[in-house]
């Protein structure tokens, strides 16, 4: 129970940017800022992989429509990452608390991922790219700040993460009309016939 607030916050953060969570926790543990980070997250190969993937996400997450494709690919990855990070933070491998922590982290990551993906679909209905860039930067800063805060004030961080998750769900429900419009336009583009004269199209 004592690690549950940290598990919840890490799950929320993993649903938004799992690579940033792994990289940040690993670096904080490796440089001795905290002793709560398991050694598995501090391994050089884990840090290198997380760093490379984090840089990929930094770019993809700020490009309209590319960010939604990236989110679709990570529908499974982020919840799994959230569950694994939560289980590692809980320790006591194979115990009931270990399994419960993994479940909490995974479910929380899935919910925050769905909030992020739904919000991005709504934002992508806007013709300008600035909103994607600003939103991505805010998400990255929120993840970094809350993960660090959770290591020293886990309960307060969990309250903030829960509030953000609740507000995010409410926002996605409110913006659902824009999300449906985005999906409808994408379906229309897929069904649209190829232009006359295109490669493989009879003249």
Look up residue 61 and give its DSSP letter: T
Q: Cα separation of 19 and 34, whole Å?
A: 19
Instruction: State residue 71's pLDDT score.
Output: 93
Report whether 22 contacts 81 (CB < 8 A): yes
pLDDT digits (tens, 9 = 90+) for 29-69: 999 888 888 899 999 999 999 999 999 999 999 888 899 89
Model confidence at 12, pLDDT cuts 50, 70, 90, reads very high
Does pLDDT of 194 surpass 60? no
Kindly state the average pLDDT of the residues 98-125: 89
Instruction: State residue 203's pLDDT score.
Output: 45
Question: Quick one: tokens of 172?
Answer: 């996605």
Please state the pTM of the whole predicted model.
Answer: 0.82
Query: Considering only CA atoms, which of 138, 160, 150 is closest in space to residue 28?
Result: 150
Determine which of 13-27, 153-167, 169-183 has the lowest per-residue pLDDT on average.
Answer: 169-183
């Amino acid at each position: 129970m004592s690690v549950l607030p940290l598990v919840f916050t890490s799950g929320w953060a993993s649903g938004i940017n799992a690579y940033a969570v792994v990289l940040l926790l690993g670096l904080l543990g490796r440089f001795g800022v905290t002793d709560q980070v398991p050694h598995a997250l501090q391994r050089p190969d884990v840090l290198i992989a997380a760093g490379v993937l984090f840089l990929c996400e930094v770019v993809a997450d700020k490009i309209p429509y590319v960010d939604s494709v990236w989110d679709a690919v990570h529908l499974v990855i982020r919840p799994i990452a959230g569950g694994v990070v939560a289980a590692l933070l809980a320790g006591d491998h194979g115990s009931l608390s270990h399994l419960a922590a993994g479940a909490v982290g995974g479910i929380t990551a899935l919910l925050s991922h769905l909030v992020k993906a739904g919000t991005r679909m709504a934002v992508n209905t806007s013709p300008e790219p600035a909103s994607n860039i600003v939103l991505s930067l805010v998400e990255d800063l929120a993840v970094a700040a809350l993960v660090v805060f959770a290591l020293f004030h886990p309960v307060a961080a969990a309250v903030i993460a829960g509030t953000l998750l609740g507000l995010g769900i409410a926002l996605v429900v409110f913006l659902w009309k824009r999300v449906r419009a985005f999906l409808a336009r994408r379906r229309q583009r897929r069904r649209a016939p190829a232009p006359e004269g295109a490669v493989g199209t009879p003249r």
